Amino acid sequence: MIQLKNVSFQYGPEQQVFSRLNLAIHDSFWTVISGPDGCGKTTLGKLIKGLLKPQSGFISIKLPQEIEGVRIGYISGDYSTSIVGITVANDICFGMENIRTPQTEMQNRLEEVVAAVGLDGYENRLTTTLSGGERQKLALAGVLAMKARILILDEAFSMLDWISRKRLRSLIQNLKDQLKLTVIEMTNQATDIKTADMIVFIGPTGVPQFEGTREKFLYSETAQHWIAPQGGITSLLGLFPVEIVDEVQRLLEQLNVDIK
């Protein structure tokens, strides 16, 4: 469980982001944190990661007892800032070296994570020759190699085409289920909530306007106001499997849901 208690943060005297923010993020859940640009999504991710410190209040992180240690992986949309190695293997091992992972274990972890993210056989590839999707996979492999159990995705798919987004989202979903990862995703794209267990919607003043399950969110007034500017019913239908889209659309029309 990640808990924020009365957290306040501001960048300057006139740029307050959060004032006494209270929030709980559950273990092994995929929690989407959304809201308009400037509401504090990225700031919140950096606070949880520890890249920023709150001016007041506190953040506590407690994972289940069977999970040893607390490591937080942070991946942003600008993957170039997270890649430091010349080759794929160099880059993945860099983080492990920083936490003093034994050499023999490093090799085992390297083999495990490249297989997990679909980069096996790429160990000696130069990182500069990788595609955007491959670089995102590399960033993910790096945090997994460090045994991260909390994964923060800060607009992590924003620079990818929709096919790459879909593949990486599916990959992370599978890894989340296998490794019991806690995933926290910052996004302002309506179609990104399809993998969410919980949704937190932050208003323009940094105050949560909604906290709850995806199903409850879709019926909420907050969702209707948010989805409409992003393509209305087209955006909403994108959350459902293709084979039931027509059925969902007919149901929405019968309910006279105002999201057009």
Prediction pTM value: 0.80
Q: What's at 21, amino acid-wise?
A: L
Return all residues near 191 (Cβ < 8 A) that are at least 6 apart. Answer: 235, 238, 239
Q: What's at 17, amino acid-wise?
A: V
Residues 48, 154 contacting (CB under 8 angstroms): no
* pLDDT tens digits, 111-156: 989 988 889 899 999 999 998 888 888 988 898 888 888 999 998 8
* pLDDT tens digits, 63-122: 665 445 558 889 887 766 778 899 999 999 998 998 888 988 999 999 989 988 889 899
User: Which residues on adjacent β-strands are paired with residue 211?
Assistant: 200
Domain boundaries, the chain: 2-213, 219-260
pLDDT above 90 as % of the chain: 37
CATH class given for the domain over 2-213: alpha beta
Q: From the CB of residue 134, how many other CB atoms can be counted at a distance below 10 Å? A: 19
pLDDT at 260 over 50: no
pLDDT at 242 over 70: no
